[in-house]
Amino acid sequence: MGGKYADICPDTVARLTAQAAARYRSAKEADKAVKTALHQITGAFMTPDELKRARKLLASAGDDPARALSETLALHSSTRERLPHIDAFYDALLGPIGARTLLDLACGLNPIYLGSRGFVVRGVDISGGCIALVNDWAAARGWDVSAECRDLLCDPHLPGADAALAMKLLPVLEQQEKGAAMRLLGRLPAPVIIVTFPMKTLGGRGVGMERHYSEWFEGESRGMFDILRREALFGELCYIVRRSGV
Ligand SMILES: C[S@@+](CC[C@H](N)C(=O)[O-])C[C@H]1O[C@@H](n2cnc3c(N)ncnc32)[C@H](O)[C@@H]1O
């Protein structure tokens, strides 16, 4: 796929193209469906223009890295939402766990922040632009952080870590394939998993999302995970879970 979606993981484009071909007769309709899906699952969170601005910030980060870091994090919707309270948010979330190595699933720009806090991070995302940015920030700052452009629904390989992060990810996965979210959590090579959900839409509306996601996730987790902690932190519904019986 060219243009706006040229840097998306080829496995993702192939997966969505096959689904659309099975569903629509006309090539035009199928192409439109693939573009709509790509917007919903990745493009809506960071646009090509925001990626371009982020590249410029990295190129000029030498003058004032702290400012470049926070302006870069503001260019992906998920890190932008956390930015006003990002240190307090991560202190509260990660502090009690004591993890040093993190597997960040569908990481967006999160590893750029986590690297600046000294964590060892292995990230995965289907956005090639986000992945390149994460790796280039890490190389420029000498962090032990790396990310790969891979589709969590196609590629089973994941590195082990002290904790896995599935932040604002599960609804995006369920939208792509029913049942995929809990299947992924069930095979993570980490003793502890941090799962978060948005409590507002990208447009800023609160529409019963906390109740909806908590009922769904707590129901799905029964018998599979022990919930060690549940808390709404700065507008993000957060869980820390561990596989049951471990
Ligand atoms: C709501 S954002 C969350 C980003 C990050 N976890 C955070 O909370 O800051 C969802 C992310 O999932 C990624 N994504 C969507 N589907 C994916 C898939 N099948 N495999 C890997 N990443 C995916 C998108 O590119 C996007 O960066």
* Residues 185-238 pLDDT 10s: 999 999 999 999 999 877 777 779 999 999 999 999 999 999 999 999 999 999
CB-side neighbour CA atoms (13 Å) of 10: 0
**Is 178 within a domain?**
yes
CATH of the domain at 207: 3.40.50.150
pLDDT at residue 12 in the model: 97
Q: Are residues 18 and 139 both part of a single domain?
A: no
Quick one: 85 and 22 in the same domain?
A: no
Q: What is the mean pLDDT of residues 150-173?
A: 96
Does the residue 70 lie in any domain? no
Q: Indicate whether 51 belongs to any domain.
A: no
Q: How far apart are the CA of 125 and the centre of ligand 1, in A?
A: 6
Tokens linked to 5: 């979606």
> Whole-model pTM?
0.96
- pLDDT at position 116 is 97
CA of 96 to the centre of ligand 1 (A): 25
pLDDT tens, position by position, 69-117: 999 999 999 999 999 999 999 999 999 999 999 999 999 999 999 999 9
Q: Would 69 be classed as within a structural domain? A: no
**CA-nearest residue, atom 27 of ligand 1:** 108
163: containing domain? 76-243
In a domain, 213, yes or no: yes
Question: Do 201 and 89 reside in the same domain of the chain?
Answer: yes
22 Cα–ligand 1 center, Å: 25
> Contact at 8 Å (CB) between 179 and 151?
no
Calculate the average pLDDT of the chain: 95
Give the closest residue (by CA) to ligand 1 atom 1.
168
Is the domain of 40 the same as that of 87? no
99 lies in some domain:
yes
Domain contains 65: no
Distance 41 CA to ligand 1 centre (A): 7
With 0-12 / 13-18 / 19 or more C-beta atoms within 10 angstroms meaning exposed / middle / buried, residue 210 is middle
Closest CA to ligand 1's atom 9: 78
Would you say residue 1 has pLDDT above 70? no
Q: How far apart are CA 17 and CA 31, in angstroms?
A: 8
Q: Which of 105, 125, 168 to mutate to test the pocket of ligand 1 (most atoms within 8 A of CB)?
A: 125
The H or E element that residue 172 is part of is helix 170-176
Please check whether residue 168 lies inside any domain of the structure.
Answer: yes
Q: Are strands 236-243 and 163-167 parallel, antiparallel or unpaired?
A: unpaired
Q: Say if residue 143 is in the same domain as residue 90.
A: yes
Quote the number of domains for the chain.
Answer: 2
Instruction: For the chain, give the percent of residues with pLDDT over 90.
Output: 91
